[in-house]
Copies of this chain bind each other. A is one copy, B any other.
Amino acid sequence: METTWGHQLRAVGLRVTRPRLSVLDVLSTHPHADADTVVTGARAQHPTLSPQTVYGVLEALVSVGLARRIEPAGSPALFELRVGDNHHHLVCRSCGAVADVDCAVGAAPCLSPSDTSGFVVDEAEVVFWGLCRGCQAEAAPESVQIDEHEIPGGASS
**Chain A interface (Cβ within 8 Å of chain B)?**
69-71, 73-74, 77, 88, 90, 92-93, 99-105, 109-133, 136, 147, 149-151
Q: A74-B71, A123-B130, A129-B125 are in contact. Are A101 and B118 (CB under 8 A)?
A: no
Copies in the complex: 2
Contact A119 B92 (CB under 8 A): yes
Contact indicator A127/B130 (Cβ below 8 Å): no
Instruction: Name A's interface SS.
Output: mixed
Contacts of A129 in B (CB 8 A): 121-125
B116–A90 touching, CB < 8 Å: yes
Q: Determine whether the beta carbon of A119 is less than 8 Å from that of B104.
A: no
A115 interface neighbour in B101, B110, B150, Cβ under 8 Å: B101
